[in-house]
């Protein structure tokens, strides 16, 4: 089904509108799943009833999260709006509200313990997450040109919401980053010697900066260990390290550190924001560093601090 003319049409619409490769894979998955769930009927012959039945199946039988339900709904809305050319009206199903949860954060001792069980590029990725408040994809898609040692800043290009922003570059990470850049440059030179060495660029950037394909500044700071075929344009390139590779190393480090909390790459971002506020950083500055459009998103972190510093004693503490 993936190679069917209809699915190729879906992929073309996604790429024409410059959706990311991750969104493309997710949307293609949900469209295929929707079609198979409905006995391979063509989406043009289906409508609200079939969509509602599919989404209810995900919620009840598959017990998927609110975020997953919303992603499936967005994929189907895209399918009907841009491929079938029909807007879905009166759907008896809306975006599921995500439960509001206080984020899990790590203290300095826990972060240090995890760092002791990471090394090389994996230690540096974790240090960037905690030291700069980056999301994991933002860290993995950093390019050499994005690191400015003079102004001690890092450019986050095309981050969440397709926004560009700057964040701080910690003094402690300058030397490790410089060492990592030397390794990338050496690896890039080997690729050039093999007749390769092209950077992996999105189609829009490829058209604009085609001459920059082989410049080392456009190489990923954390390149993959293997060259691959570019998913859009078919040339041989070196993509960035996959998030699952870091997640696996992080999970091993957390287990080795004997930390009972559920720790993911995003936990470091939460810990970054909380630690800045604990140290007296203005919440507007934290908002800017995190790249939040709405201050209300950032305001979750003072609640974390408040829970810790309320100073309220439990009645059991007064028992003699």
**Same domain, residue pair 159 and 73:** no
Domain boundary among 180, 211, 239: 239
Domain boundary among 208, 223, 239: 239
**Same domain, residue pair 68 and 150:** no
| 93 within some domain | no
| 27 within some domain | yes
What's the average model confidence in pLDDT over 66-86?
Answer: 94
**Same domain, residue pair 234 and 163:** yes
| 164 within some domain | yes
CATH of the domain at 16: 1.10.150.130
The least confident of 48-62, 66-80, 86-100, 277-291 is 86-100
| 205 within some domain | yes
| 306 within some domain | no
As annotated, the active-site residues are 135, 160, 266, 269, 292, 301
Confidence of residue 98 (pLDDT cuts 50, 70, 90): low
Alpha helices in the chain (DSSP H): 5-16, 21-37, 48-60, 66-78, 108-115, 120-132, 136-140, 174-193, 203-208, 243-257, 265-278, 283-290, 295-298, 300-309
The number of domains in the chain is: 2
| 156 within some domain | yes
What's the average model confidence in pLDDT over 290-318?
Answer: 68
Report the chain's mean pLDDT, rounded to a whole number. 89
What's the average model confidence in pLDDT over 262-269?
Answer: 96
| 191 within some domain | yes
pTM over 0.85: no
Structural domain that includes position 227? 142-239
| 257 within some domain | no
> Could you say which DSSP state residue 82 is in?
I
Tell how far CA 201 is from the center of its chain.
17
Confidence of residue 52 (pLDDT cuts 50, 70, 90): very high
Would the pLDDT of 313 be above 70?
Answer: no
Within the chain, strands assigned E span 147-148, 153-156, 165-168, 228-229, 236-237
Domain boundary among 221, 239, 257: 239
């Amino acid at each position: 089904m993936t190679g069917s003319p209809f699915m190729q049409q879906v992929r073309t619409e996604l790429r024409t509108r410059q959706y990311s490769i991750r969104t493309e894979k997710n949307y293609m998955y949900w469209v295929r799943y929707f079609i198979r769930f409905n006995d391979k009927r063509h989406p043009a012959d289906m409508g609200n009833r079939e969509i509602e039945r599919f989404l209810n199946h995900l919620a009840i039988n598959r017990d998927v999260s609110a975020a997953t339900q919303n992603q499936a709904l967005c994929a189907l809305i895209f399918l009907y709006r841009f491929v079938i050319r029909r807007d879905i009206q009166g759907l008896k199903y809306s975006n599921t509200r995500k439960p509001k949860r206080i984020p899990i954060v790590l203290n300095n001792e826990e972060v240090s313990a995890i760092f002791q069980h990471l090394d090389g590029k994996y230690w540096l990725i974790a240090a960037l997450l905690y030291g700069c408040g980056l999301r994991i994809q933002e860290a993995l898609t950093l390019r050499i040109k994005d690191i400015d040692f003079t102004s001690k800043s890092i450019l986050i290009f095309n981050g969440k919401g397709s926004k560009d922003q700057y964040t701080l570059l910690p003094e402690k990470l300058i030397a490790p980053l410089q060492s990592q850049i030397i390794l990338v440059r050496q690896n890039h030179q080997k690729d050039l010697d093999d007749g390769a060495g092209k950077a992996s660029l999105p189609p829009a950037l490829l058209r604009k900066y085609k001459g920059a394909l082989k410049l080392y500044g456009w190489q990923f700071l954390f390149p993959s260990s293997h060259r691959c075929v570019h998913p859009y344009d078919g040339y041989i390139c070196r993509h960035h390290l996959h998030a699952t590779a870091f997640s696996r190393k992080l999970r091993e480090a957390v287990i080795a550190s004997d930390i009972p909390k559920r720790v993911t790459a995003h936990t470091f971002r939460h810990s970054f924001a909380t630690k800045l506020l604990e140290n007296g950083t203005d919440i507007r500055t934290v908002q800017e560093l995190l790249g939040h459009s709405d201050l209300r998103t950032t305001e979750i972190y003072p609640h974390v601090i408040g829970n810790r510093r309320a100073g309220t004693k439990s009645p059991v503490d007064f028992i003699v």
